Amino acid sequence: MDKIIIEDERDIKRIEIFTQQAVDIESYSNKEGFKIIAYHENGDMAPVVWFAIYKYDEIVARVNGKYVQLIDY
């Protein structure tokens, strides 16, 4: 059985969101220190998956999982 997003230990290289914007980490990962981490936040009666986009040790963006249409590992 496949792991759920939060349990998957593979590095996320890129996520694509419904607005047709893409957060492309793959081309920046070695050079500029970008990283995408999936995590939970409390929502209405259930945890919601969010994605934090880090540049080095600072969060530069957060994306609600309901807008993510593609996760590239």
DSSP structure string for 28-49: THHHH-EEEEEEEEE-SSSEEE
Residue with more model confidence, 24 or 40: 40
CB 60 within 8 A of CB 54: yes
The proportion of the chain whose per-residue pLDDT surpasses 90, expressed as a percent, equals 19
Report d(CA 32, CA 40) in Å as an integer: 26
Residue matched to tokens 């934090």: 52
Which of 43-51's residues contact partners 24+ apart within 8 Å by CB, and which partners?
A: 49/5, 49/6, 51/12, 51/15, 51/23
Looking at every residue in the chain, the average pLDDT score rounds to 82
**What are the boundaries of each domain within the chain?**
14-72
User: What does pTM read for this prediction?
Assistant: 0.80
